[in-house]
Structure 1
Amino acid sequence: MEEITLGVGLVIEIGLIIATIVIISSHLRKNSRNNTNTKLNEQYYKSLFEENPDAIFIFDLDGKFLVANKAVSLYGYSVDDLLDKPFAGFILPDDLERVTAHFMVAVEGKVTNYECSIFDKQGLQREISVTNIPIFVNEEIHGVYTIIKDITQHKKAQNDLVEAEAKYRSLIENSLVGVYIIQDEKLVYVNPRLCEMSGYKCEELIGLHVADFIYPEDLPLVTENIGKRFSNEAGTIKYEYRAIRKDKSIITFELYGSKIIYNGRDAIIGTVIDITERKNTEQMIKHMAYHDQLTDLPNRYLLREKLNESIKASRQNNCHFALLFLDLDRFKAINDTMGHEVGDKVLIEIAERLKTCVHEKDIISRYGGDEFSILLPDTGEQRASEVAGQIITKLSLPLTFHHHELLVTPSIGVAIFPTHGESFDMLIKNADLAMYHAKSLGRNNFQFFNEELNKNAQHELDMEVNLRKALDQNQFVLFYQPQVNLENNEIYGAEALIRWMHPEKGIIPPAAFIPIAEETGLIIPMGEWAIRTACKENKKWQDAGYSPVMVSVNISAKQFFQSNLVEIVETALSETGLHPNYLELEITESITMDVERSIKTLLELQRIGVKVSIDDFGTGYSSLNYLKRLPIDKLKIDQSFIRECPNDINSNTLVRTIIIMAHLLKMKVIAEGVETEEQVSFLLEQGCKEAQGYFFSKPLPVSELETNYLKKRLEK
């Protein structure tokens, strides 16, 4: 029993020992783990302290540096530079009081955060963010942890941003251009200049939908461009559109815009410039460039554009259009007799009458001078004829200016696209040819172009070239038609008549080339040649012993009004030695259109002794008032009046009246185109003592005049 008891006691003792060992072992293992954790934690804190990128300090309660990590080197300091020194020496003076207050709050046990400025070791100011953390040991505060973060660049960026925003806002608010931001097709920002331009207040524009102020016709353009910018189809877009001001007037904006993020969402920012005045000026300049200043009708440049558009449209639609080319008959006479002021008023009235003859889509153009053109889109020969006829009717109604009644008639040429031409130049040319054909048929009518006119035009061009050659190659000669004294049947003078002796075609009559010479201006050198040649041949006859005769030379209106006519005559007389008494210049009634210039030239001719007669008298438009003022020596009665004498009472009356008037004005008078003895008797009875015509002789070359008249006269 004792053995059993001893055994049990041993087992219990051994168990207690083992338990004690286990407990002691477990306790030892626990202490070992705690030591390891402590060391590990210390290493964590040490790493966090030493390797922290921010500077960390431990201050005592008096604000002296106790410990610092190596991040202080960022400010140029070493740890030794700081130990046992108060922080106050590093703080910007302006911030010291505030920083000290924050430190004392930490000493009292509260965490504080603030910003201040310090000096680094180089004396430069640095901006920092500070966190003060009280250090508790056994619930007592033994110091202060301080963590500082360098925010110098951050503060600078903030300041720069504030400055930039201030500059931007000042720039925007005081900008001379309008600035806007659009989001969801509504205005969310506008500057004062945009308000000024639009006439709205800022609060009235904000929230306004673009459709509320964009001109309706331009709204699709604006909407399309806004969509392009939102979808990144385009970067910055520039375009023009019209807007409606608050007062409902229309202004034109030039807009620049691009996509931005505004309040976290897509938006459009841009600028607008009011270009209304510029556009108006451009429109005015364009209008002036494309419209006639006097009548405000389109000019030839706009006509070219519109006609080319009609050509394109007509080709696409396979249709016709008509071009009417119109010239006012004898308009120059109105300008010359009544002045350009009246002439301008006539043109304005003609333009207004033309407008009543066409549709709104038709285009009337003042092509130049007294020429007008009318473009009739989608028009064939029938309507062209109707419009041309209506124009003739309207324009032929009398015009009254300054108590004068004027009659202005048109000659109209018509060309049809594409039959008469497929280009602007060809249509104008052919309509112009048709217009001249209308003039040749007596004016006040219209004619369509045909190929025969083209041939005639080419013939006239060829004629002009050949006329120039004829002048250079001396192909012209003078024929002379004797002028007879009816009382004694003696020749006393001769009219010099120019003839063209073509080397291949023979004699070409004046009617075939004089009109072309007049139109091209070649009549002037031809007239100079005729004056020199007549003087030369007349002097030659006198030198040959023939009795002196008067030679008359026809002068065109163009030659009469050239500035050096008197000089040309004086030179011809001087070079040939002919006495001025034996030269007579025949002028037409058209010189009375500029009576003041005419009088001056006639007085100069009278001064040098040259005689002057009015040819074809009675067929022109000369005023008797002007006639009495002109220094004229002789009137030549046109052959159209003589032709019916003495059988037609009206012709007799006209001839008798002209003769009486000439005598009363102390002028001589000569009848042209005398062909019968009865006419000679009638003229003698009326007191007309001079005549020429086929009854006496046709125009003769020099040799025949000498043989048939001058020699016989000498023999008598």
Structure 2
Amino acid sequence: MSTAGERAEVRIQIVEDERIVALDLKQDLESMGYRVCGVAASESHALELARREPPDLVLMDINLGAGGDGTRAAKRLMDEYRVPVVYLTAYAEPETLKRAGLTAPYGYLLKPFELRELNATIHMALARREVERQAERAELRYRLALDAGRLGVLEFGASGNELELHGHAALLFEQAGLPPALTREAFMARLDAVSQARLGTLRSQPGQDLHALARWQLGPQRQLWLEIHARHFAQEARIIGVFRDVSSQVDSEAQLRQAAVVFESAADAIVILDVDGRLRAVNPAFCTLTGWAAEEVLGTRLTDILHTQRQTDLLLHDPHNQAEPRHGEVLCKRRDGSQFPAWEHVAPVFSDDGRLSHQVLSFTDISALRRAETQIQHLAFHDALTGLGNRHHMDYCLKQFIGASDAKPEGGGFALCFLDLDGFKAINDTLGHHRGDELLVAIAQRLCACLRRSDVAIRLGGDEFVILLSQLAQRDALLALADKLLAAIREPVQLEGVEPVSVSASLGLALFPEHASTADELVKAADTAMYAAKSAGRNRCEIYDSHLAARAVERLQIEQGLRRARVGEQLQLHWQPIVELASGRVLGAEALLRWQHPEYGAISPERFIPIAEESGLIEDIGRAVLQEACRQGRAWLDAGLHLERIAVNVSARQLQREGFVNAVRQALLQHAFPADRLELELTESALQTVDSGQRLLGELRRLGVKLAIDDFGTGFSSLSMLKYFPLDRLKIDRSFIRDLETDANDQAITRAIVALARALGLALTAEGVESAAQRQALQALGVEEAQGWLFSKAVPAHEFALTQLQAELARHLH
């Protein structure tokens, strides 16, 4: 028998409706060393006591009289508190035994009973409960282990068709829960053929294990990847295994394999860096581009072997700016010390806890792009004969000079000198064009010798030259330089095979901003002064006599008029057709803004558009133009005029305005105009910022609209822009078309642009076609689309629609 000390912690609750019997039982139990933690006379009281202090055992009278049913109380105690119950009763008839048996008691003693018998029963009940607790703890650990690993359990006999599934088996089915019955054959049928065969083989191999990656058919369109571990237990003649869903791991491994193929086969160099900037992996393209072997560079710092340490290159690897992707142009060096330009992209890699773990760097050699860019820029901006800048160069430099002057209102002025040789035509006609070209080259060299490095010499054509004099706006200094230029030109020139010849020049000077507020006005003012010098006897210089106040008033009037004008009223959209050169078929129309002022009549866009841009009015005007263009395009579609595209010009200020993409989206939605029929024409200067330009154009392309570069070739655009921006079309500037049939330079430039567009898969449209000869020249160069006065000037919408509908009707009749 156990001692009292061993029983001191055993708490027993008595449930007996006869108080005297309960008290006697309590004394007997305490005498045996048990602690009675409560005495209850009813079913409800018994449950309340157990709730307050759960006992280790309950001694329960079956018949509680008015206090309820003891078997019912026992069942609730077992279900709710897992407390073992021993019945103490005077009843043993079959019905009572049946009711008591349903509660699975831990003992059944008939009154009266001996204390020794009671003590033994209590011992056995507690021992049984302890064994049950151990089993329950083992089952709990088993269930928790399945939950922790999200494991399902399968069990089936080595023979027969029965199958049992436990644990996380619901993942095998699309519907919630498990189906009422699933046979082994049905389970096997959902596995791939290889896994079916391996599980089938396991049935005939007692003691063997199976570790398999199986494909499970979850539904008609869905599959899972299961990792299965099973064993054939010979003694039990059972196959028992666990399985879990590893679809995400399989997908990740597939992605890693694909990434490895990309890494190894990519034409761009790819480098994996750790947080300290050391190389951890390089692909074969890196070794090819740089000349370094992988084993030579792993573990070294990227900046020690690749970059030339320019400040702009180092910015891409600023340790304080590693959380965001960066890209830009860098100058790299090879193993042999040679250098090459590269476009580099750096992207961070973060661990699951959000910390930077690695960086992925990729770069590609853009030497070919830079060489092509240099060649095209030279063709576009330099005179083939003298090597001086040409008209396009002058336009660009004027923009730069004016921009610099605007940035420095005080002391930022400059001068433009327009120079024309006196009597050059006679020398050209007498000695021949070859001698005339020699003379022009000698004069160009003398002009350059008289100028500073910051000045720019331009040959406009023939014997006309323009000189831009930076930060030289004082009249005395200008006149002194003019005398120096005139004297240098007057010096005799030794030409091949003839006597030295001498020429003079007429020179006109205009100052910015004193004499002009725009580039065109400045050139015109200097040209006017030059003709004044010729009229005054030649071989001399004249300074333009400006009327600045009058021009300022005119500009103010235009700006104020624009503020009152509205698109659709004074401001009207006219439409110029875009034509297929081979057939003459109209493919689309470009929207061009016209202003009919109530007092001054028609005002040229060249006058009011720059003022609209400078004053910021272009943003509201551009938004209204976009709305009107979409509205008109929709109206034409509804009328049966199905143009392939409507082209709308977009200014740099519009692009810079936040919300531009939403404005385009709203215009398309409001007028139900198809996005793929809208083409936005952008200038090269509007896309100089690669980061914002690439993002903005990407958003526009996702809307479905087409994107074109207008006036291509007239700005210092980077050819890498064509690679990284999602463009659809290049529009050849009219300045290259004007003399296309006679000017070899324009022919070479246009041919280069056509080849570039074809190589990049971009469509091409020529602007400013005014003659049949230009049309033929463009067709010979492979240009398929054009617009210009040869086909039609810009006309109002109703006139454009009438003309096109008549043309379509005529085609149908024929």
Task: Give me the TM-score of the superposition, normalised by structure 2.
Answer: 0.43
Structure exhibiting the larger radius of gyration computed from Cα positions:
1
Which has more helix, going by share of residues? 1
